[in-house]
Amino acid sequence: MLLRFVSRMLLCLLLLTGCSSADTDDPARADGLATVQEARLPAEARRTLELIDRGGPFPYAEDGTVFGNFERLLPAHQRGYYHEYTVPTPGSHDRGARRIVTGRGGEIYYTDDHYDSFRAVLR
C-alpha cells in the first residue's frame, strides 16, 4: 500500500514539474528521431552551422545542394525541402561521412554515418 502511494506521488511530482525529454541528449522524439544539443556536436559540425547561419562561403561545391531523403529517415516533404552540408572529418581524404541536413522549416539534423541515422539538433 505504501509503495503504491509513493509511486503515485512520484508520478504526480514528475507531471507537475514538467519533466521534459528535451533536457538531455538523445531522447526519443515524436517523429522517432533522437536529439543532440548543438553544444555537444563535434567542433567541425558547430563550425558548419556557423557557415550555414552566415550563408557561406562553403568549402565544398556540394554544400547547399538538395538532400533527397531517399533513406526516408527524416519526415517526408517534397523534393527540395532539405539541403545538405559537409561536416569535415579530421583525417579523411574526402568529404567523409558527417553531414548537416537542414529543412525549410528551420529543422537541423546531424548524421555522422552518411545518412544511416540522424539526430535532430537542438539549439
Instruction: Quote the CA–CA distance of 70 and 76 in Å, as a whole number.
Output: 10
Answer yes or no: 84 catalytic: yes
State the DSSP code for 76: P
Task: Take residue 57 and report the three cell numbers written for it.
Answer: 562561403
Q: Which member of 38, 62, 77, 114 is catalytic? A: 114
Answer yes or no: 93 catalytic: no
Q: Which member of 44, 84, 93, 107 is catalytic? A: 84
Write down the residue that cell numbers 553531414 correspond to: 99
| Residues assigned a catalytic role | 84, 114
